[in-house]
């Protein structure tokens, strides 16, 4: 499905930088300030060491935390700049292809290497959570990133007959605009210079792009069903020595059905975050 959730950036500068990691297909907006990164990566001294040794460690710890915070911020800034540039390259390639060919047929094949590289590179966002430089749930980020990987590698790449479907263009366009906006938002936040237009785009474009991206993904999976059922690809049949079975066709049906309860929840969550960030509304969300 895509990265559907995020913690909204409620301020600029160091506070906004806190969300500079994992992202959002449905758009996937996912959310470190140097202090936050340092705090997660280095625990405070517990006072169990005595004498001069403890005093020396107390003097060194703040410096280490600052260096770690600066290193994390520098890496995240580089990462988000690189991802912004990568998706911009993809967008330019898509526009150029359509202007030259006048058709969407062959579009995916022409941009697939760039798409696969940068979407797979996003696996680093899980690593960012694991090592603590981005205070986001590893599970949530993992689901968001893996859903995109699933669409790229296990659907569009693996099932070549669907690569010229119009639905592929739908999610490609939605993903591309989304990611350019998202990663540029993170970059400017980390640099403490967030233009209002980027912030506005971040919390308005999704209103159209989320449904378009979801529609493209669902229609692409639907188009893949006949081929998957006919070929039995990625399925495991009985009998076998492991005595297990797996039907990829029914797995895809379950995946499509999962969009029904998940998309509305996440979409309306983003609408609430939009009101909070752009209009300053205080939103009190009930715990389930």
User: What residues are annotated to the active site?
Assistant: 210, 217
Distances (CA, A) of 9 to 15, 72, 101, 147: 8, 18, 40, 23
Q: Estimate the crossing angle of helix 138-149 against helix 124-131, to 10 degrees.
A: 170
Decide if 83 contacts 48 (C-beta within 8 A). Answer: no
265-268: long-range pairs with CB below 8 Å, 24+: 266/4, 266/5, 266/26, 267/4, 267/26, 267/210, 267/211
Decide if 275 contacts 281 (C-beta within 8 A). Answer: yes
Question: Among 181, 244, 238, which Cα is nearest to 213's?
Answer: 181
As given in the structure block, the two tokens for residue 180 are: 């350019």
Distances (CA, A) of 37 to 193, 209, 258, 260: 20, 31, 34, 36
Decide if 283 contacts 272 (C-beta within 8 A). Answer: yes
DSSP string, 43-108: PPP-S-S-HHHHHHHHHHHHHHHHHHHHHHHHHHHHHHHHHHHHHHHHHHHHHHHHHHHSSSTTHH
Cis amide linkage into residue 263, ω under 30° from 0: no
Decide if 74 contacts 187 (C-beta within 8 A). Answer: no
């Amino acid at each position: 499905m895509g990265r559907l959730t995020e913690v909204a950036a409620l301020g600029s500068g160091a506070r906004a930088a806190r969300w500079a990691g994992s992202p959002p297909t449905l758009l996937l907006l996912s959310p470190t300030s140097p202090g936050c990164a340092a705090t997660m990566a280095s625990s405070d001294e517990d006072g169990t060491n005595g004498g001069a040794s403890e005093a020396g460690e107390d003097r060194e710890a703040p410096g280490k935390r600052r260096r770690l915070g600066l290193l994390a911020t520098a890496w995240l800034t580089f990462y988000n700049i690189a991802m912004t540039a990568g998706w911009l390259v993809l967008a330019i390639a898509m526009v150029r292809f359509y202007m030259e060919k006048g058709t969407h047929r062959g579009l995916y094949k022409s941009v697939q290497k760039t798409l696969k590289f940068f979407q797979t590179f996003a696996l680093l966002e899980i690593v960012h959570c694991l090592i603590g430089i981005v205070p986001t749930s590893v599970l949530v980020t993992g689901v968001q990133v893996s859903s995109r990987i699933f669409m790229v590698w296990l659907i569009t790449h693996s099932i070549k007959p669907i690569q010229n479907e119009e639905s592929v263009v739908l999610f490609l366009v939605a993903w591309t605009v989304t990611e350019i906006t998202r990663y540029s938002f993170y970059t400017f936040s980390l640099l403490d210079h967030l233009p209002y237009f980027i912030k506005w785009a971040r919390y308005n474009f999704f209103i159209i792009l989320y449904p378009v991206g979801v529609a493209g993904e669902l229609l692409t999976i639907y188009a893949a069903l006949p081929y998957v059922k006919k070929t039995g690809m990625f399925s495991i049949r009985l009998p076998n020595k492991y005595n297990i079975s797996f039907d990829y066709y029914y797995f895809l049906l379950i995946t499509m059905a999962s969009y029904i309860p998940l998309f509305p929840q996440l979409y309306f969550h983003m609408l609430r975050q939009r009101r909070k960030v752009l209009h300053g509304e205080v939103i009190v969300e009930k715990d389930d």
